[in-house]
Amino acid sequence: MANHKATKKDVRQSAKRRDRNRYYGKTTRNAMRSLAATPDAATMEKGAPAVIAMIDKLAKRGVIHKNKAANLVSKLARKVNAAKAAPANA
């Protein structure tokens, strides 16, 4: 690492950004996991837009690639639709 003031500041900023991105990524993964584990289709359908927004925000920030975000949203939508189509007592 160079001893320039700007370089030291850049290192501090990138560390802050990395921690923030890790937090957002982990929070989104936990939200996806808890949504997928929800047994009730109505609750799953109600919570899906919030999780989709979190995924889209990760892609917008550049934490994940936009195609990965699209794949995750598609996978989540398939799970929600499958839960709606499945009988409630099964």
User: pLDDT for 40-89, tens place per residue?
Assistant: 899 999 999 999 999 999 999 999 999 999 999 999 999 999 998 887 65
| pLDDT (0 to 100) of residue 3 | 86
Say if residues 32 and 48 touch (Cβ distance below 8 Å). Answer: no
Q: What is the pLDDT of residue 87?
A: 73
Q: Give whole-number Cα distances, 8 to 4, 12, 17, in Å.
A: 6, 6, 14
Instruction: Please report the pLDDT score of residue 90 as a whole number.
Output: 52
pLDDT digits (tens, 9 = 90+) for 17-51: 999 999 999 999 999 999 999 988 999 999 999 99
Report how far residue 44's alpha carbon sits from residue 79's, in angstroms, rounded to the nearest whole number.
9
Structure tokens at 73: 């949203």
The span from the CA of 58 to the CA of 84, in Å, is 27
Domains of the chain as residue ranges with CATH: 5-85 (1.20.58.110)
Q: Determine contact, residues 72/57, Cβ cutoff 8 Å.
A: no
